Copies of this chain bind each other. A is one copy, B any other.
Amino acid sequence: MRRGFEHELAEIQDLLTEMAARAGSAMNTATQAMLNADLQAAQAVIAGDDVLDDLTGRIERACYDTVARQQPVARDLRTVVSAMQISSSLERMGDLADHVAKLTSMRHPDKCIPEDVRPMFAQMGTVADQMATRTAALLGTPDLAGASAILAMDDQMDQLHRDLFTAVLAPTWTHGVEAAIDTTLMSRYYERYADHAVAVVRRVIQLVTGDPFPLTATWPPTAERDRPAGG
């Protein structure tokens, strides 16, 4: 029974790792599409989002089947339920890559962000990429050091998000209202993408530390994460 459970769990874990890798590559392609106003790349991201949605369905089904067959309790049950919650977060990361791609394709053949904020978005793309890669690795081999590294990257993303607000609101901003809004929304998509990676990490920490409810506490102690994007 135990071996059956572990076998099924390993399969679910593989699906989660695949989802994280796909959410990462979706955002990478979306970033390239945005930076280069590349319509084909944007369309590839939009078309690929269904795969992530299907994977979420498959994981949810696999989790229910495992619970029905193996009747896990305590920590094992929490692991299975966490897998479903993690897959929701990964699906949402894919949705946000899809948002970046859709906004890009809507503005095509124009670029939807002005040249002077391009380096900041390139950096956001890099941070998003690192977070997704590390998250995929963490789902394969959970460890707290890896988790901490991802949380530190989220702080970088938050800083970039604030920097973009500063740029858009500066008197030197000459690109008008529409570009300001596109820039703000794009920035928020990346920031939320990072937040969902953090949600995954917290679930993993929950499982590694054995503390079933760290989500109600503050871990790690850090500046208020939930300020609105306008701040």
Check A18 for interface membership: any CB of B closer than 8 A: no
Whole-angstrom CA separation of A181 from B71 in the bound complex: 50
Assuming the contacts A228-B189, A230-B185, asked whether A56 and B103 have C-beta atoms less than 8 A apart, the reply is no
Give the Cβ gap from A88 to chain B, nearest Cβ, in Å.
Answer: 7
Whole-angstrom CA separation of A130 from B22 in the bound complex: 37
Give the Cβ gap from A106 to chain B, nearest Cβ, in Å.
Answer: 6
7 residue pairs, one from A and one from B, having the closest CB atoms: A57-B216, A99-B228, A103-B230, A177-B180, A102-B228, A185-B230, A103-B228
Extra inter-chain contacts (4) besides given A57-B213, A100-B228, A102-B227, CB under 8 Å: A68-B74, A88-B88, A103-B228, A180-B180
Task: Identify 14 residue pairs between A and B in the complex whose beta-carbon atoms are under 8 Å apart, listed by A's number.
Answer: A64-B77, A67-B73, A67-B77, A68-B74, A81-B81, A88-B88, A98-B228, A99-B226, A99-B229, A103-B228, A106-B231, A165-B181, A181-B184, A182-B230
